[in-house]
Structure 1
Amino acid sequence: MPLSYLREDLVERTVKTPGPDHPITVEPHPARIVVRAAGKVVADTTRALTLREGTYPPVQYIPLEDVEPGALVPTDKSTYCPYKGDASYYALVTADGTVPDAVWTYTEPYPAVGPIAGHVAFYPQHVELTEG
């Protein structure tokens, strides 16, 4: 049977712990962050968390409660990270239209990154993120 027919809930998932070969840190961001999409503010926070993972660029996780109501619409997309867990996605509603799967969240992240629960991250190509 082709792999495309396997049910995801029956596939064993590897859970990995961050370490020297794949470090992950989560720290409070020291400055205010404003996120704009199509020129409109969609999030404004002084409570962002910066996640640094290996050699990837840092990612700002914004508390969901600091995102403008109506800016996000849940989608059906989901992905899996062996270090963070199951990610779900949101479409971003902008003045120029809706951008599918532009925002992600880990509702129940693995303990190593537990603080990012209740936070969302924006794909940088869809928003302007400024500090200050």
Structure 2
Amino acid sequence: MHPNRFEPQAGQESVWDYPRPAILEDTTKHIRIICNDIVLAETDRAKRVLETSHPPCYYIPIEDIKMEYLVETSRRTMCEWKGISQYYDIAIADKYIQNAGWRYTLPTPNFVDIQNSISFYGSLMDACYVNDELITPQDGDFYGGWITSDIVGPFKGEVGTWGW
């Protein structure tokens, strides 16, 4: 079962036009993440992963992240397209967020360019911005996509979408 695709307007992308398998692309959009009132990450050098039915996940170079607040965990997962990832907790003052971000330490050949970049769950941050637009986190606790006004769905992760 596939949902009814929303028709994109001028300047918008439909996640139903994104490819499967997923692809990686550079973006010059300005990315900023706020956590516990600290700018945790900020870059104009992010990459984004595009996959059918998903809003993009943005991967930020480690050099553009305040890594002193990240704690590597033992959690590992595997994605058939991207490879094996490890997770990070965030510890800022009295705030501790488990499994807040991830990176592909053993990426597949098509995703080696994000090996030294981390993506974050927008739902666990105070705020995430793409070009100064506050994002809406993708529904559910499995996917980490960021929804902005230039992306239309419907999006996988919403109630009733696991069968897509």
TM bracket, shorter-chain basis? 0.7 to 0.9
Q: Say if 2:21 and 2:81, in contact at 8 Å, map to a contact too.
A: no
Percent identity between the two aligned chains: 32
Matching of residues 94-113 of structure 1 within 5 Å: 94-113=92-111
2:43 maps to what in 1?
A: 45
| C-alpha separation in 2, matches of 1:56 and 1:73 | 27
What is the TM-score of this pair, normalised by structure 1? 0.78
Task: Give the TM-score, by structure 2 length.
Answer: 0.64
Q: Does 57-66 or 28-37 show the bigger shift?
A: 28-37
- Displacement after TM superposition at 1:57 (Å): 1.3
Instruction: Count residues in correspondence.
Output: 113
Structure 1 residue 106 displacement after superposition: 0.1
What's 2:118 paired with? 120
Given that residues 19 and 51 in structure 2 are in contact (C-alpha distance below 8 angstroms), is that contact kept between their aligned partners in structure 1? no
Structure 1 ranges of 4+ moved more than 6 A = none
Query: What are the residue-to-residue correspondences of 1:20-31 with 2, within 5 Å?
Result: 22-31=20-29
**Letter in structure 2 aligned against 1:129:** C
Kept after mapping to 2: 8 A contact 1:92/1:99:
yes
Amino acid at match of 1:48: A
Q: Is the 8 A contact 2:32 2:43 kept in 1?
A: yes
1:129 maps to 128
| Partner SS, residue 53 of structure 2 | coil
Per-residue Cα deviation, 1:33-65 (whole angstroms, up to 9, x for no partner): 111112210001111001112211100000011
Distance 1:96 1:36 in 2: 15
How far apart are the structure 1 equivalents of 2:45 and 2:19?
A: 29
RMSD between aligned residues = 1.7
* Structure 1 residue runs without a partner (length 5+): 1-19
Q: In 1, distance between residues paired with 2:54 and 2:130?
A: 20
